[in-house]
Structure 1
Amino acid sequence: MREVQNDFLSKVKSELIFTTLSEDPWTPHQKYYVGYVTPSISRKVQISGARSVTMKSLEDIQSNIDNVVKDRQSNLIKIKEQRHHILAGIQKLRKRINSHFDKIEQDIEKELNASECDLKRKIEDLLNGLKEKRESIAVLQSNISDLKNHASDLQTFTGSKKLVEKIESEETYVQSISEDGRLKQFSLKCTYNEGIENLLQSIASFGSILMESSSPSVEIKLKKNEQAQIMSFGFNPKSVDNVRATLLRKVELPKGNSTDEYNITGCAIFPNGKFIFTDCDLNKRLVILNKDGSLDCEIPLSELMPFDVACIDDTTVAFTVWDSSEIFIFDLRSKSAKKQIETNKVCFGITYENGMIYYCNEKHLGVVKLIGSRLTTILKFDKLMSYITSSGEMIYFTDYHTNAVFCFNVKGQKIWEYKEKSVLDGPNGVAVDKNGIVYVASENRNCIVAISPDGEKAVNFLSSADGIKKPYKIFCDNKRDLLLVTGFYGNCALFEII
């Protein structure tokens, strides 16, 4: 009998539900009572609740779509206004340029006219003098003819003597114009300002049109409760305990010109999948490899010792230089620096994200807005920061001497700090994957450590058994789930995060 009762109670308890006294499942402060109902009633209640949740979810989706459409339309209007503003600025600049060149054209035209008048006056003065001389010679010729036809011998003798003196005077005049430079060929010539030609060659456009993005101004909001889970799919990001890596290839770098040794202190992956490395002290060069690991090119940097590098796009990089306070923006096509940004202290690690260059130096952690090169100090430390990376609103950096890795937000607020020498000894490069797991190169332990997104737990991710030796810079390509690891002595490898 007791077994029958227990079986009956077990079946009834299986149909135990929470039924709300309010018809609206979204009404706050709902009151519940517990009752035993038949299976058919239970199913009806569940179906009714599911329908209510479904309708509410659809309403939420519709509301969010309306908000997004409104926001995007507003963004289109803003872009159109920005286009008109940029065009107006270009036209204003063009007018200034035209006005300036009109003025200097008028100035040189005045100078040209003055020079022409001066040369014209000199030639006309000579012509006038020659005209007078021709008239004098005509008179002399007439006098000679008169002497010949009408004068006595005595008159001819006396007159001829005077004529000879006048003729000698005219000869002296003709000879003088040959000797005093009045017969030289005069000409006008313009020597153009070399700066104008250089300007024409150096300026290929009025400027660059850049497309920027910033944080969304509209937020997707979906109401959720336990009942709504019937419409959703769960997503469980990888934890630091089960993340793994597979070796894709060892990366072979070409030998330097002056030595067979390397000092690899920086690396990055371009958007197109190519790789770049900084060979700092001994070879002073940038090395770029194709996606398959073959050599694309080497760029010697003379006396500059590149320390860390970040890819801005497929043809532009930013790099720091050992013992220098400047950040170099470098064009790989022309193999020359486009600009240099002064930070006032010796720089080390550098990273780039969404138009911002984040860097750390001897005293502070800063950010450079690439357009305009505006510098902002995010944090000031009495620590010697080594390497840096960013992910959205979070910035991560290492402190080699205190064996610590830090996570701050872009407002300068500390989120967490991990410091455990037995796990993290001599931290260098730092990278973050799409799940928020932080990877740190532990130089003295010859390993890569993985730290949980909250900074609470750390595990050995890669070790010397995986070929890790004196690791320096590491880089995460989250579009391809790749981790690039560089060793100071040139032992580099590419892993896939799985």
Structure 2
Amino acid sequence: MLPIEEIAKTSKSSGLLETLQKSLEDIQSNIDNVVKDRQSNLIKIKEQRHHILAGIQKLRQRINSHFDKIEQDIEKELNASECDLKRKIEDLLHGLKNKRERIAVLQSNISDLKNHASDLQTFIGSKKLVEKIESEETYVQSISEDGRLKQFSLKCTYNKGIENLLQSIASFGSILMESSSPSVEIKLKKNEQAQIMSSSFNPKSVDNVRATLLRKVEMPKGKSTDEYNITGCAIFPNGKFIFTDCDLNKRLVILNKDGYLDCEIPLSELMPFDVACIDDTTVAFTVWDSSEIFIFDLRLKSIKNKIETNKVCFGITYENGVIYYCNEDHLGVAQLKDGSLTTISKFDKLMGYVTSSDEMIYFTDYDTNAVFCFNVKGQKIWEYKEQSVLDGPNGVAVDKNGIVYVASENRNCIVAISPDGEKAVNFLSSVDGIKKPYKMFCDNKTDLLLVAGFYGNCTLFEII
């Protein structure tokens, strides 16, 4: 036991104040980042509001334009009908006017006979007038019989669909408030230190890692019947699986969580090689013998965008808004937002698959039977190259403990490599259903490892 006064003498030189000061700086930095992020979110919401209002106004203009047109059409039809009825009535009125003039003449003739004609003239003239008057009577009688005295009218029967439309549409749409993953991360040195200490207590040895077979995935038949060239696979955030059937069937195959067919998407003449899931409805894939990365919308079943990498591109992976890729002469990164490219490392020749985990990138080179670990700055962390272990390395995946899994095509097995790249062991073999493995995908949220075999023999494991 020491007096507190004695202990207090070293309080200023103990480093505690510096630690507290650093903690406050971390807190202040995180607050500044959150404020900046929230202000950016407010600006984004305002822009979305203006965009939605513009969309509503555009829709309203389309509706107004459509109803203006159909109003003009029915107005033309109304005018034509009115003109037709008006013509019929005016023709009758014109005929009656002529008849009235003739009747007036006949009345004048009768008056003349009464006042000035002799009896003989009256007798002869009366006979002639009888014939003329009978003709006029016949005309008047015909008017009532041929329908010209019917009451004409105009009437409009409105489209019932308009009334149903008014009743069924109560609004232009609905406004949804959505949320997604935060774009800002709270980083405290204290938490990082705690994570480092926690991981040091439970190191995962490559010798102890195991896997349990969950299911064998049956690939649906394509246009080439029972033949497949499965060169790529991935797991969506919602748990569905996607495969690329490259040469023979030229398609994307999507299966649900239970391994049953969800849909397949033919790609005409494109031969999809590798695939990466951007979200539940968007994927990126490479094409055999092409230098482009295709961004594909699964809902519209159409290509949204293309990213040119300048050399034939092979393996790809997606993480946090960027696509890491291997092409013939370099390992690179493509920004999904604008398609800009950055070269991480140059090679004389490169053909392989790639995966990433935080700041580390892992990729294979088929020709040199090697697997590499680089950081995002292009510094090589380690290289594993042993042909007796890795013969024809293809797909590569990394789990949450940093253990790297590599598909050895020619040995029909999956090799597990320690996080430091020093040790490798046989992890899965043909006994576990591994045959000509090409691509692997590790979902670290669920500890699932999906293995795609070239000939369609695909398997799903749980890492334990």
Tell me, yes or no, whether TM beats 0.5.
yes
Can you give the 5+ residue segments of structure 2 that lack an aligned partner in the other structure?
Answer: 114-121, 162-168
Note the 1:99-178 alignment, pairs <5 A.
99=61, 102=64, 113=75, 116-117=78-79, 120-121=82-83, 123-141=85-103, 152=122, 154-155=124-125
In the alignment, which residue of structure 1 is the partner of 2:119? none
Q: State the superposition RMSD in angstroms.
A: 5.3
- The answer as to whether partners of 2:322 and 2:333 remain within 8 angstroms in 1 is no
In the alignment, which residue of structure 1 is the partner of 2:117? none
**Which AA in structure 2 matches 1:329?**
F
- Residues 367 and 205 (structure 1 numbering): CA distance in 2 closer, same or farther, change over 3 Å? farther
- Residues 382 and 127 (structure 1 numbering): CA distance in 2 closer, same or farther, change over 3 Å? farther
Query: For residues 191 and 228 of structure 2, what CA distance do their matches in structure 1 show?
Result: 56
- Residues 439 and 54 (structure 1 numbering): CA distance in 2 closer, same or farther, change over 3 Å? same
In the alignment, which residue of structure 2 is the partner of 1:24? none
- Residues 424 and 96 (structure 1 numbering): CA distance in 2 closer, same or farther, change over 3 Å? same
Note the 1:294-309 alignment, pairs <5 A.
294-302=258-266, 304=268, 306-309=272-275
**Which AA in structure 1 matches 2:422?**
K
TM-score by length of 1: 0.64
1:418 aligns with 2:383: yes
- The answer as to whether partners of 1:64 and 1:220 remain within 8 angstroms in 2 is yes
Larger deviation: 249-258 or 359-368? 359-368
In the alignment, which residue of structure 2 is the partner of 1:30? none
**1:435 positional shift:** 3.5
Counterpart among 169, 180, 197 of residue 211 in structure 1: 180
Larger deviation: 436-445 or 88-97? 88-97
Query: For residues 191 and 239 of structure 2, what CA distance do their matches in structure 1 show?
Result: 40
Work out the number of aligned pairs and report it: 427
1:75 aligns with 2:40: no
- The answer as to whether partners of 2:34 and 2:184 remain within 8 angstroms in 1 is no
- The answer as to whether partners of 1:360 and 1:388 remain within 8 angstroms in 2 is yes
- Residues 357 and 244 (structure 1 numbering): CA distance in 2 closer, same or farther, change over 3 Å? same
**Which AA in structure 2 matches 1:286?**
V
**Which AA in structure 2 matches 1:86?**
Q
- The answer as to whether partners of 2:414 and 2:429 remain within 8 angstroms in 1 is no
Can you give the 5+ residue segments of structure 1 that lack an aligned partner in the other structure?
Answer: 1-38, 193-199
- The answer as to whether partners of 1:289 and 1:296 remain within 8 angstroms in 2 is yes
- Residues 375 and 458 (structure 1 numbering): CA distance in 2 closer, same or farther, change over 3 Å? farther
- The answer as to whether partners of 1:272 and 1:314 remain within 8 angstroms in 2 is yes
Q: What's the secondary structure of 2:315's corresponding residue?
A: strand
Counterpart among 434, 437, 460 of residue 471 in structure 1: 437
- Residues 405 and 84 (structure 1 numbering): CA distance in 2 closer, same or farther, change over 3 Å? same
Query: For residues 82 and 425 of structure 1, what CA distance do their matches in structure 2 show?
Result: 51
- Which whole-Å deviations, capped at 9, do the CAs of 1:418-454 have from their partners, x for residues lacking one? 3636143322112122233432212123233344556
Counterpart among 203, 209, 212 of residue 247 in structure 1: 212
- The answer as to whether partners of 1:471 and 1:487 remain within 8 angstroms in 2 is yes
In the alignment, which residue of structure 2 is the partner of 1:94? 56
Larger deviation: 95-104 or 155-164? 155-164
1:340 aligns with 2:304: yes
**1:473 positional shift:** 0.8
Query: For residues 381 and 408 of structure 1, what CA distance do their matches in structure 2 show?
Result: 13
Q: What's the secondary structure of 1:343's corresponding residue?
A: strand
- The answer as to whether partners of 1:378 and 1:410 remain within 8 angstroms in 2 is no
1:367 aligns with 2:334: yes
Q: What's the secondary structure of 1:309's corresponding residue?
A: strand
**Which AA in structure 1 matches 2:424?**
V
- Residues 465 and 136 (structure 1 numbering): CA distance in 2 closer, same or farther, change over 3 Å? closer
Identity of aligned residues (%): 39
TM-score by length of 2: 0.68
- Which whole-Å deviations, capped at 9, do the CAs of 1:99-133 have from their partners, x for residues lacking one? 56556655665666566445544543443333222
Query: For residues 366 and 162 of structure 1, what CA distance do their matches in structure 2 show?
Result: 107
**1:233 positional shift:** 6.1
Q: What's the secondary structure of 1:301's corresponding residue?
A: strand
Note the 1:445-464 alignment, pairs <5 A.
445-453=411-419, 456-457=421-422, 459-464=424-429
- Residues 208 and 322 (structure 1 numbering): CA distance in 2 closer, same or farther, change over 3 Å? farther
- Residues 160 and 452 (structure 1 numbering): CA distance in 2 closer, same or farther, change over 3 Å? farther
**Which AA in structure 2 matches 1:311?**
C
Query: For residues 150 and 362 of structure 1, what CA distance do their matches in structure 2 show?
Result: 121
- Residues 73 and 366 (structure 1 numbering): CA distance in 2 closer, same or farther, change over 3 Å? closer
**1:60 positional shift:** 4.5
- Residues 78 and 215 (structure 1 numbering): CA distance in 2 closer, same or farther, change over 3 Å? closer
Q: What's the secondary structure of 1:444's corresponding residue?
A: helix
**Which AA in structure 2 matches 1:483?**
L
